[in-house]
Structure 1
Amino acid sequence: MKIYKTILFAFSLIFLWSCSDTSDYSVGYLNPAQNRERFVKEGNFMAEKLREYGIETLIKHAEDNDITQLEQGYELLAEGVDLLVIAAVNGNTIAPLVRDARSQGVKVIAYNRLINNSDYDMFVTGDNEEIARIFCEGALKAVPSGNYVVFAGDRFDKNGFEVKEHIDTMLKPHVEAGEINVIYETYIEGWNRERAAFEFQEVLDSHGLVVDAVISCNDPMGLGTVDVLNQYGIAGNVFVTGQDAILEAVRSIEDGEMNLTVYHPHRELGYKTGDLIAKILRENEDPEELANAETFNGTESIPTFRVKSMGINRENLGTLVDLGEYSWEEIRN
């Protein structure tokens, strides 16, 4: 009987220790769409890291519909999440959710896409000036003179606006020197492949096959450009950029059609976001102490954590294999 009580006591201690190590926190992740490969991957890595801290993650995909995302956010609030991570479909229309979350004591992190005109805890993102530098340096090295087209992202996404501003600044001296002629530039609503393809076809209809480089600010838009070039049998003759290193774009680079993509290390971003969340929730750390920058969103300066990105071209494609992002079999399939 004494041995039985000793064993029971030992199991009780193990049970109590396990419970004390388990967090009651939960996090909601609002992803813009299930086909946004980068956001899905990074969200999964974030959830993986949060599981290590005993924090549950609830993930919702809005399929690029801002009203749907707003509804999903309120669903997560009703489920009692402690923190919302929002990769916003629309940085303006999501603001009421942010304000209501904060009024309920729920912490909010804007992920990659800035949320405008509202106060929240943190913004986790890449470095837009660095992204523009990778685009411009890659294009200018390959095509130091000629006709350029610039497809910026959505004008209502601060990322799209900021990257475009930096591109303009970096290309300006080359334009003024008469080396570069920007024959067309526009923002592409929703960073959308089909819209980019439509715009590029319009460029070719107006100017003919005289384009030497297309600085396209994400992979779907770059692939839309390649779609049109393939119709003329000249894919590979025009320098084309993208961003996010999605598998289709990486394959296109391997095939010599696209030339450059900006890679955001998915695992590093997801894990780092998970670490930041754990410090904010479990250790009650001040986001300002965790930040390495700040970003003004129209009304507030938001503590910001920026993660560096890298340019990927055909010469260093193996970097993605070395980092475990893809295998050569996947890339060459």
Structure 2
Amino acid sequence: MKKSLIIALTLMFIFGSVFTAFAEGSAESDELVIGLSLPTQREARWVSDKITMENYAEELGVELLVQVADADQAQQASQVETLLTRGIDVLILAPHDASASAALVSAAEDEGVPVISYDRLITNSADVDLYISFDNVGVGRLQGEYFVNNTPPGNIIVMSGAPTDNNAKLFKQGAMEFIQPKIDDGTYNVVAEQGVDNWLPTNALSIVENALTAANNDVVGILAPNDGTAGGAIVALEAQGLAGDVVVTGQDSEAAAAKRILAGTQSMTVFKDTRDLGKAAIDAAVEFAKGNTPETNGAVDNGVFDVPSILLVPYVVTEDNLQELLVDSGYLSEDEIQ
């Protein structure tokens, strides 16, 4: 009797241990791990993206591993490799270099990890699973339409974003749909047309300084691709006593840009609610991790194929609607724009 009892207890212990180990293993495997690779934290909007995504992932009980490349493609490649070795289920990748990041997508594909191209489209890759952004050609159209409706005839400066960022091409494409016909008919004369390396305001400052010198300060409008470059342009204008007299576009609805709009030195910005964008990316990553396919509302050509896309709607912000769109919505606080 005693021998049978000992055997039974031993078997119970063994199977109980196996069951416990299996249960613990199952719980561990059920925990979703998402890798997030961001290109920079040098701009306020990317800081906002990171905070939104970290908070939302925590709210959902999802582990989010974050890496920031500091505008360095080699560093981003190394960081993505690190994320993949840590066993992530999905990679959300906002590329520093749109084309070079195709190799990072291939590395993730080799590991069976779906890739979400976040805000910036990864080009020249057939393996991107999803693109989440705003209608970036549409963003450019909003800038271009505002520009032609508010800028008198004369000399203009046309800037675009970083040449390594595919979004820069899309923004300019949309803007020039409106501006190019005015150039062709002689309404506008372009005194400088240049991309801004790494989107740096200091680079935009130099471009505008040189253009103002070449045009003897006779400039009526500046197509600035985002708020950071708009800020650089306005510093150059201020040095010549021209701030507020020249139309300057922007986008991202940063607090600094909102202040400039209220002060009359920046003409407009484009509101892209990155709170919605960040949450949409996390939701899509969770769907992929569960073996599902997220619902999409569009497709964008990345040079190889039309990538299934989730595209959010952007809005023009001027002094007239800034309070409603940015402050009343909670995107910016009253204190931030004072």
CA shift, 1:94, in A, is 2.1
Q: Which residue of 2 aligns with 1:314?
A: 319
The 10-residue stretch of structure 1 (305-314 or 92-101) with the greater mean CA deviation from structure 2: 92-101
Structure 1 Cα separation of the partners of residues 241 and 152 of structure 2: 23
Q: Would the aligned equivalents of 1:84 and 1:106 in 2 still touch at CA under 8 Å?
A: yes
Asked if residue 296 in structure 1 is aligned to residue 301 in structure 2, the reply is yes
One-letter amino acid of the counterpart of residue 31, structure 1: L
Structure 2 Cα separation of the partners of residues 178 and 97 of structure 1: 45
Which has the greater radius of gyration?
A: 2
Structure 2 Cα separation of the partners of residues 249 and 317 of structure 1: 11
Q: Would the aligned equivalents of 1:47 and 1:274 in 2 still touch at CA under 8 Å?
A: no
Structure 1 Cα separation of the partners of residues 261 and 176 of structure 2: 25
One-letter amino acid of the counterpart of residue 181, structure 2: P
Q: Would the aligned equivalents of 2:102 and 2:124 in 1 still touch at CA under 8 Å?
A: yes
Q: Would the aligned equivalents of 2:95 and 2:121 in 1 still touch at CA under 8 Å?
A: yes
CA shift, 1:21, in A, is 12
Q: Which residue of 1 aligns with 2:332?
A: 326
Deviations for 1:257-311, whole angstroms, at most 9, x for unmatched residues? 11111111121111222222222222x2224xx1211122222321111111111
Instruction: Give the alignment partner of residue 120 of structure 1, picking from 128, 134, 150.
Output: 128
One-letter amino acid of the counterpart of residue 302, structure 2: N
Q: Would the aligned equivalents of 1:30 and 1:60 in 2 still touch at CA under 8 Å?
A: yes
Instruction: Give the alignment partner of residue 99 of structure 1, picking from 106, 110, 132.
Output: 106
CA shift, 1:113, in A, is 1.0
Structure 2 Cα separation of the partners of residues 80 and 326 of structure 1: 36
CA shift, 1:191, in A, is 1.4
Structure 2 Cα separation of the partners of residues 235 and 269 of structure 1: 33
Q: Which residue of 2 aligns with 1:254?
A: 262
CA shift, 1:32, in A, is 0.9
CA shift, 1:96, in A, is 1.8
Q: Which residue of 2 aligns with 1:79?
A: 86
Deviations for 1:4-54, whole angstroms, at most 9, x for unmatched residues? xxxxxxxxxxxx9xx979941111111111223212212322233333332
Q: Would the aligned equivalents of 2:161 and 2:168 in 1 still touch at CA under 8 Å?
A: yes
Indicate how the Cα distance of structure 1 residues 83 and 257 shifts in structure 2: closer, same or farther if over 3 A, else same. Answer: same
- CA RMSD, aligned part only? 1.9
Asked if residue 24 in structure 1 is aligned to residue 31 in structure 2, the reply is yes
Structure 1 Cα separation of the partners of residues 29 and 252 of structure 2: 35
TM-score by length of 2: 0.87
One-letter amino acid of the counterpart of residue 193, structure 2: E
Instruction: Give the alignment partner of residue 237 of structure 1, picking from 245, 255, 258.
Output: 245
TM-score by length of 1: 0.88
Q: Which residue of 2 aligns with 1:7?
A: none
One-letter amino acid of the counterpart of residue 249, structure 1: A
One-letter amino acid of the counterpart of residue 224, structure 2: S
Deviations for 1:86-122, whole angstroms, at most 9, x for unmatched residues? 1111112222221111111111111111112221211
One-letter amino acid of the counterpart of residue 55, structure 1: V
Q: SS at the partner of 2:64?
A: strand
For structure 2, list consecutive stretches of 5 or more residues without a partner in the other structure: 1-22
CA shift, 1:141, in A, is 2.3
Instruction: Give the alignment partner of residue 37 of structure 1, picking from 37, 41, 44.
Output: 44
The alignment of Structure 1 onto Structure 2 pairs a total of residues equal to 312
Q: SS at the partner of 1:294?
A: strand
Matches within 5 A, 1:165-176: 165-176=173-184
Identical positions, percent: 29
Structure 2 Cα separation of the partners of residues 176 and 133 of structure 1: 18
Q: Would the aligned equivalents of 1:23 and 1:53 in 2 still touch at CA under 8 Å?
A: no
One-letter amino acid of the counterpart of residue 256, structure 1: G
CA shift, 1:61, in A, is 1.2
Matches within 5 A, 1:153-172: 153-172=161-180
Instruction: Give the alignment partner of residue 180 of structure 1, picking from 167, 185, 188.
Output: 188
For structure 1, list consecutive stretches of 5 or more residues without a partner in the other structure: 1-15
CA shift, 1:195, in A, is 0.9
The 10-residue stretch of structure 1 (180-189 or 311-320) with the greater mean CA deviation from structure 2: 180-189
Q: Which residue of 1 aligns with 2:285?
A: 277
One-letter amino acid of the counterpart of residue 140, structure 1: V
CA shift, 1:165, in A, is 2.0
